[in-house]
Amino acid sequence: MPVTSRKLSTADERRGTVLRTAIQAFAARGYYGTTTAEVAKAAGISQAYVYRLFPDKEALFVAVIDHCAALLRENMTDAVAKARGREPETVLAAMRTAYARLIQDDRDLLRVLMHANCAASEPPIREAIRACYAKQVEYVRSASGASDDQVRSLIADGLLANVLVAIGADEVDAPWTRTLFAGSERA
C-alpha cells in the first residue's frame, strides 16, 4: 500500500490561514465580540497555536488590519495599472470603481475595517487603523498626482460607500438613497 506523506504547513502558511479566518470572524462579531478560540476553531488549529503566532487578540486584530491595508493597496495598484490614462481624474475614477467593486465583493474586508474604526479606542488598534488610512492616502496621492481636495474627496466617497454597502442601501429605492448615491459608483 502506498504511503502518502502529509505536507506540514509552515508558520507563514498558518499565519496566512489564521489571518483570512480572523477576517471572517472579526467581520461577523467585531473585535470585542470575537474570541481567539473562535478564530482557532475556524482555522482548524488550537488556540495555543494562535498564541504562538500572535501574542494576544489585540496583536491578531492589528495584523488583520495590516493585512486588510495590504489588500486595499493591491486593489488600488491594480486600478492604477488598468486606468485608461494618467491624469489625476482618470486615475481617481479607476480607483473609485475598483474600490466600489472590492467592498461589494468582499463584505468581510469592509466590515473588519468598520469594526476597526469602532475599536480605535484601543491604542494599538488606533495606531494600526491610522497607519492604514495614512498608507491609502499617501498611495492615492503619489499614484494619481491628485490634489489634497481630490484625495480627500476620494477617501470621503469611499467611507460613504462603506456605510451604504454595510447597510444595504442599494436595496432601497428612496430619495435619501438616490441622494447619497448621486454621482458615485453605485456599490
- Helix (H), strand (E) at residue 127: helix 123-144
CB of 43 closer than 8 Å to CB of 17? yes
Phi/psi at 29 (nearest 5 deg)?
-125, 0
Residues 6+ apart with CB under 8 A from 90: 83, 84
Q: What is the reported pTM?
A: 0.89
Res. 132 pLDDT band, cuts 50 70 90:
very high
Q: How far is residue 33 from each of residues 26, 51, 65, 95, 162, measured CA to CA in Å?
A: 8, 18, 16, 32, 21
- What is the grid cell recorded at 51? 498564541
Q: What percent of the chain has pLDDT over 90?
A: 89
CA-closest candidate to residue 165, choices 104, 106, 124: 104
Whether 105 shows a pLDDT value over 70: the answer reads: yes
CA-nearest of 159, 145, 148 to 72 is 159
8 A C-beta contact, residue 185 and residue 97: yes
Q: Is 34 left (phi over 0), alpha (psi -120 to 50) or beta?
A: beta
Q: What angle do CA 117, 131, 145 make, to 5 degrees?
A: 110
Question: pLDDT tens-digit profile of 80-104?
Answer: 999 999 999 999 999 999 999 999 9
